[in-house]
Chains A and B, each alone.
Chain A
């Protein structure tokens, strides 16, 4: 009886958060899933079990193209970000004196907190035809005519990489400082040179941090609408952009729902691929 009362009380504390999550996250998610099997008859929604929306992904070229573009951009961004962030995290962990590390790290990720709309706009400013980069390159005589940098895939990737280098530096740094210096010493005592020590000792030990950061990068990058919309121009669309197009003028919610489910599917596949090394609980 006592235990029952205690348990009921426990439920009472958990209930508000649980109900909120169920009502405003789980239920909407289920409804969205059901809607991906519905069809549009003119403007009217017909519930049912139709696979038309999923079949359209294979049949309509621009939908398939959006999935390919999204994957290309996301994979490029993830690889470039890891390659740029690793040395940075390394330098902060091993070259910067310990008492300055916290400050340097704080400074490294400060622009991370800029609103993502504002951050993308700021890159537009930097990469514009009359922008800082073009003006500087022209002033030092490297180019005669301004380059087209904004409204390209290059701009989208740059905007993403900027954001994720900061995130990855943080996760990789956290991994590097946890390593006991004894591993490096042991490897060196056994005759390994600097590269061998890195390749066979440090890299395998920091792999979980890299994979966790890379997975987060993948998830956040593939689901983002703002960066490609502001920086990428309209020459090619990513999946989130196509979803927003469906929600707008066309009001094709079933197709938008199906695309959202496909996005979730891609993320799930990425999760399964990375699961072996993921340490999400350590974040």
Chain B
């Protein structure tokens, strides 16, 4: 009994953990109007329906676009700051690191609310751009922390060697530091993508006419359960898993 108990617990935990995602994906193949038992199907009609809906595919493109641009900005700024702090001794560097990490400690709702107040007060129109600005605020601390943690003495020696051989700082960064830190930079980028692309509350507060996919899904939720929502949800899950697997591969490669 004592021997099987842990395995029973593990199985029960997995049932609990996979129950919602499993139900979501299974009933996305439902041949009928309601995504509840009994299951009829499988049918791909809801996927066809979703992929034929230009509002949804438009929102999907918006989401990926915002995530890509926001992550690129976050990783670039995060890398530069990490390089500056790791390679130059600056007064108050602990304070600067604290400031750069600070947004991680505040709930997204509050980050979004603050930006909403300032942007609307200063007459800034809400759009995908403002949502992107918010997403950089929440992903920059992650990107900075990951890249800063990966900056070690090992690269410093290679950088010094390159400098002694006459390379200027820009060349050192582009040809030595960035390639040596590629796994960390890649990990920071994909982690930022996973955080940004399905983020809801900031995008909800800071967009108006063109919206991202989670905001579009939110407005569909009002009409209740539908296999259509299951199909979009399954697609969103699939894309997130793809980002996570890429991330995992990068971390594994770094470990080798």
Contacts and interface: CB of A to CB of B under 8 A. Distances in A.
A31 B240 contact: no
B128 to A, nearest CB: 15
A250 B200 CA distance: 22
B49 interface: no
B113 A125 contact: no
B99 to A, nearest CB: 6
B10 interface: yes
A219 B79 CA distance: 27
A108 B13 contact: yes
Contacts of B200: 115-117, 226
Given A24-B137, A110-B244, A125-B27, A10 B77 contact: no
A58 B155 CA distance: 57
A36 to B, nearest CB: 10
A279 interface: no
A118 B102 contact: no
Interface in B16-37: 16-21, 23-24, 27, 34-37
B84 A128 contact: no
Contacts of A131: 23, 36-37
A13 B88 contact: yes
Contacts of A122: 20-21, 23-24, 233
Contacts of A240: 107, 109
Q: Which of B27, B84, B100, B114 has most chain A Cβ within 10 Å?
A: B114
Nearest to B119: A28
A91 B6 contact: yes
A124 B136 contact: no
A88 B9 contact: yes
What size tier do the contact residues of chain B reach? Answer: 35 or more
A10 B89 contact: yes
Contacts of B117: 28, 31-32, 35, 253, 257
B118 A10 contact: no
Contacts of B201: 225-226
A40 interface: no
| Overall SS of chain A's interface | helix
B140 A21 contact: yes
Contact of B37 (A16, A18, A84, A132): A132
B140 A11 contact: no
Contact of B140 (A20, A32, A88): A20
A119 interface: yes
A111 B78 CA distance: 28
Interface string A5-26: 0110111111011101110111
A47 to B, nearest CB: 11
A79 B76 CA distance: 39
Interface string B97-121: 0011011011111110111111001
B198 A243 contact: no
Contacts of A13: 80-81, 83-85, 87-88
B108 to A, nearest CB: 7
A237 B35 CA distance: 28
B229 A121 contact: yes
A263 interface: yes
A222 to B, nearest CB: 8
Contacts of B34: 130
Interface string A151-187: 0000000000010011000000000000000000000
Contacts of B137: 20-21, 24-25
A135 to B, nearest CB: 5
B106 A28 contact: no
A243 B105 CA distance: 19
A219 to B, nearest CB: 7
B248 to A, nearest CB: 7
Interface in A96-124: 96, 104, 106-108, 110-111, 113-119, 121-124
Given A17-B100, A119-B20, A264 B106 contact: yes
A108 B12 CA distance: 12
10 contacts: A9-B88, A10-B85, A20-B137, A21-B103, A108-B14, A118-B236, A124-B225, A125-B24, A131-B37, A223-B109
Given A115-B233, A125-B23, A260-B109, 4 more contacts: A111-B237, A113-B237, A125-B230, A263-B107
Chain A to chain B: the 10 pairs with minimum beta-carbon distance, closest first: A223-B107, A10-B88, A13-B84, A28-B114, A115-B198, A122-B20, A17-B81, A118-B233, A14-B84, A17-B77
